[in-house]
Chain A
Amino acid sequence: MHIDKYTDAILNCRFCFMCRHLSGIGNVAFTESDTPRVRASLLYGVTTGRIQLDNPDVIACLYRHDLSGACRRNCVKHFDEIGLNLAARADIVASGCAPASIQALADSLMQTARWTVDGSGEVLYFVDLYTQETGTVAAAFAKIMAKAKVSYQTVSGGCIGKGLKTLGYLPEAAAAAKQFAAVVEKSGAKTVVVSNPAAYDALVNDFPALGIKLAATVMHTSEYILSLALPWQNPQEVYYLESDFLRNYNSDLPAPHSLLQAVGAKNRPFGTNDEESYTCGEGAVLLPRIDASLVEKLAQYIEARADAPSTDRILVASPYTKLMLGKYTSLHVQTLEEFVAEAI
């Protein structure tokens, strides 16, 4: 079983409470089962045969996880309960126990795994489905690139494997990743730039784990814009909400903060702490299609922690988080690209 690779997480998380305060879903649903302790303990029960992985309640519990990685980051030993959960999902799928709704979602993702490439240049900008859905992020990036006088290609399309991986469909995720890698290869691009941190994580971590080596360098838009060393300033007071993927999955990628500093933004601490995930479940990628009510609660949890919800300027790295906060709260949210483009 896939979970056998995570025995250390099972054994160390199953009775541990030290990251309970960072359980995203647990904090909004008030449920004990939505914590690393109980999920790991349930999966320990699976390894002993006391608990069955085809139990619908157990499956539902495992698919409610927001996969933020805040708990793993908090842990002194960084035990990987996120990896454990993803492995359990893969076991559920492999054993044919995926709920029909999850299977349908995976089927729909597989159908999106095709991409179109436009433009010319050595930079390839990936416009994933969430970035497309914002309707503004790609335009902001285009504005920046026009001012910087850099011509670039765009690749637009659906799942490059990340969503399928989070659902537990590993072979299908690998197939989508390989197809996307071929598209990148064919483009001849030397640099792939992505706005969506989930896509960034897929390209820098998931692809190599699958043995897929891109010839191009992968950069998040914050890294790429920073590398342009543009002179624009936007010295406003902002609250930057960390991305799960950039912070908790990629060792605190410094570029978002560096970019804010470079454009002169005054970044104020949001909420009461810098440990919780304020992303609406970014790590789970597809949580809105698994249980939208949880995303709504996560969004409202964030709104309740704003100093002045009606006037605060919230910045995010993730188009997903922008979409969810826009849908469920009255917060004013921009992505980093939009904030920089505003100064042009």
Chain B
Amino acid sequence: MLVSSNSYMYEMIRSELTDIVGSEFVCTHEADKFGHSIDYYWIPEMWHDRGMETPRPDFVISPANAQEVSKVIKLANHYHIPVVPWGGGSGSQGGALPIFGGIIMDMKRMNKLIRIDRESLTVTCQAGIIAQHLEWSCNKEGFSTMHLPASISCATIGGFLAHRGTGVLSTKYGKIEDMVLSLEVVTPTGEIIRTLPVPRHASGPDLTLLFTGSEGTLGIITEATLKLHPQPEAREFRAYIFKDFHTAMSAGAELMRSRLQPCAIRLYDETETITHVRKVFNMELAQGSYLVFGFDGRKDITACQMKYAREIMEDKYQGQDLGSKGGDLWWENKYKFFYPGFMFHLPQAFGTLDTVATFDKIEAVYWAMKNVVTENFPQARFIGHFSHWYEWGCMLYARFIFEPQDVPKDPREAVALYNRVWNMAIRAAIANGGVINEHHGVGIKLGHLMKELYGPAMPVLEGIKKQLDPNNIMNPGKMGFKGV
């Protein structure tokens, strides 16, 4: 922010914002500004935990439509004020934090379901709708977005699009970028644009994908059209224990190569099988690696898919069958892992080192990350599971955990330790064919590694940013782009 909150210029800007969205939707209350100063990123949580001040926005704005978003952005350009879009605030990378103050554009007022197209099976909604609310509305009409992440109760559709989010059924239905047909976007200079109405075409580069994953640095997504699916007649799960993680991974990869189209596969390494699966399910499991998968759709087809999948698991890889109950337990408890009491929490230090690689590299990535964490930080635990599977590879959801006694009391030292783990682990992933993230995004957590990941391609991204956002007002300092 360029002016003090005690100055008349601050009040001048407040008046202009009020003129755009109305006084009720220009908030400068301490409680609300505080609420936007912490997301799901460990560092701001720890900062608050240690009694430190977290960076606040100067204004919190709740626009009603794209026109209001456009006007606020034009105003921000005029005064060179940072604008940070905020959906549900459940991002784990610090992507929505107002690190340079300015305007938080809280999108939740833009929560309308605009249209369900029963012929094309699409839904069009404003970007600020909480995903669970959208899903409930679609369910009532007999459909589902099939976007079912743990953060469904909090994150908005715009937030998912901005960070390329994913859900538990991604293996069949895709990530959010596979679900979106088109977007309405307000650009960093305030133009309201629409991307092409369909995602598959030969009409030039795909602008929808340009804005998807841009984390608010290239504009604000204000509306989206997503695919819908009929609710499946059947959804079946089955779980197995394999003697070790390598065998389980081989079985999972084989299942994907079979093109049987499972809706979900989740594989837990031996450690996480013990620390999490047993705890959440409250059941005894043999030593080994737990793998669960499922199919959904027509009942007869699902049964057929399951039959062939079981042959892979049992005949070829000698998995110990935990039956459908073992699989159903995972489905019923899929969000339970993330509730307090089951999720890591301060004063522990923890992070999700998620990455993705092809099948020929994913085990090497796993071991490289695990080795670098456990060898350099022997006090840390490393666990991992593989949650989102593709025809060519899968995503590693690895986590490191420091128990409270191993976390420096000084918050600055804690930040330093935390970032050392991240840097070493992510560099190990990149060196072995991984990327810095699969579905949580980049934010401030990983921005400094973007140049290493992209190499000579990074200036292409920077050029796009500079062209679209000449005054650098949109979420500055995120995704490796420069700050104010």
Contact = CB atoms under 8 A, between A and B. Distances in A.
Interface of A: 11-22, 26-27, 30-33, 35, 37-38, 41-42, 44-45, 48-51, 55, 57-58, 60-61, 75-77, 79, 272-273
Interface in B155-184: 155
A57 B340 contact: no
A22 B154 CA distance: 9
Given A16-B340, A272-B137, A272-B139, A33 B51 contact: no
B348 to A, nearest CB: 12
Contacts of B276: none
A57 B130 CA distance: 26
Contact of A30 (B31, B109, B338): B109
A27 B152 CA distance: 15
Interface stretch (B86-94, B185-193, B255-263, B311-319): B86-94
Contacts of B346: 11, 15
Given A17-B153, A18-B153, A76-B341, 11 more contacts: A15-B346, A16-B343, A17-B151, A30-B62, A31-B32, A33-B35, A37-B35, A41-B35, A45-B34, A50-B52, A57-B32
Q: DSSP class of B's interface residues: helix, strand, loop or mixed?
A: mixed
B53 interface: yes
A42 B35 CA distance: 8
B38 interface: yes
B336 interface: yes
B339 A77 contact: yes
A41 B338 CA distance: 18
12 contacts: A18-B154, A20-B88, A38-B32, A41-B38, A42-B34, A48-B51, A55-B30, A57-B29, A57-B31, A58-B30, A75-B340, A76-B339
Contacts, number: 123
Interface of B: 25, 27, 29-32, 34-36, 38, 40, 45, 48-49, 51-53, 60, 62, 86, 88-90, 106, 108-109, 111, 128, 130, 132-133, 136-137, 139-140, 151-155, 335-336, 338-343, 345-346
A19 B90 CA distance: 12
A77 B341 contact: yes
Given A16-B340, A50-B53, A60-B29, A11 B35 contact: no
B59 to A, nearest CB: 13
Contacts of B154: 17-18, 20-21
A45 B155 CA distance: 24
A8 B29 CA distance: 27
Q: Give 6 nearest A-B pairs by CB, closest first.
A: A32-B35, A12-B340, A17-B154, A272-B136, A38-B35, A61-B31
A58 B89 contact: no
Contacts of A38: 31-32, 34-35
Contacts of A22: 153
B442 to A, nearest CB: 20
A273 B35 contact: no
Contact of A21 (B27, B53, B130, B339): B130
A31 B27 contact: yes
A16 B31 contact: no
Given A11-B345, A17-B88, A21-B133, A33 B340 contact: no
Nearest to B62: A30
Nearest to B111: A30
A19 B133 CA distance: 12
B342 A32 contact: no
Contact of A58 (B31, B38, B52): B31
Counting chain A CB atoms within 10 Å of each CB, the highest count among B36, B40, B136, B151 belongs to B136
A96 B128 CA distance: 39
Contacts of A45: 34, 48, 51
A43 to B, nearest CB: 11
A278 to B, nearest CB: 13
A50 B51 contact: yes
Contacts of A49: 51
B471 to A, nearest CB: 26
Contacts of B342: 76
A288 B467 CA distance: 51
Given A21-B132, A76-B339, A272-B140, A60 B38 contact: no
A60 to B, nearest CB: 7
Contacts of A76: 336, 339-342
A270 B108 CA distance: 23
Contacts of A17: 40, 88-90, 151, 153-155
Nearest to A9: B340
A50 B52 CA distance: 7
Nearest to B151: A17
A70 B25 CA distance: 26
A12 B35 CA distance: 16
A271 to B, nearest CB: 8
A51 B152 CA distance: 30
A60 B31 contact: yes
Contacts of B49: 44
B472 to A, nearest CB: 25
A37 B151 CA distance: 14
A15 B89 CA distance: 10
Contact of B340 (A13, A21, A44, A58): A13
Nearest to B333: A76
Nearest to B50: A48
Contact of A20 (B31, B36, B106, B130): B130
A20 B153 contact: yes
A235 B340 CA distance: 44
B469 to A, nearest CB: 25
A41 to B, nearest CB: 6
A18 B338 contact: yes
B136 A15 contact: no
Given A30-B62, A76-B341, A77-B341, A18 B51 contact: no
Counting chain B CB atoms within 10 Å of each CB, the highest count among A20, A27, A32, A49 belongs to A32
A290 to B, nearest CB: 15
Nearest to B38: A41
Nearest to B346: A15
A55 B34 CA distance: 13
Contact of A35 (B35, B336, B340): B35
A35 B346 CA distance: 20
B335 to A, nearest CB: 7
B474 to A, nearest CB: 20
A44 B132 CA distance: 28
Contact of A273 (B36, B136, B338): B136
Contacts of A30: 25, 62, 106, 108-109, 111, 128
A77 B338 CA distance: 11
Nearest to A274: B136
Contacts of B128: 30
Contact of B30 (A11, A26, A57): A57
Nearest to B134: A272
Given A44-B48, A77-B340, A272-B133, A19 B31 contact: no
Contacts of B52: 50
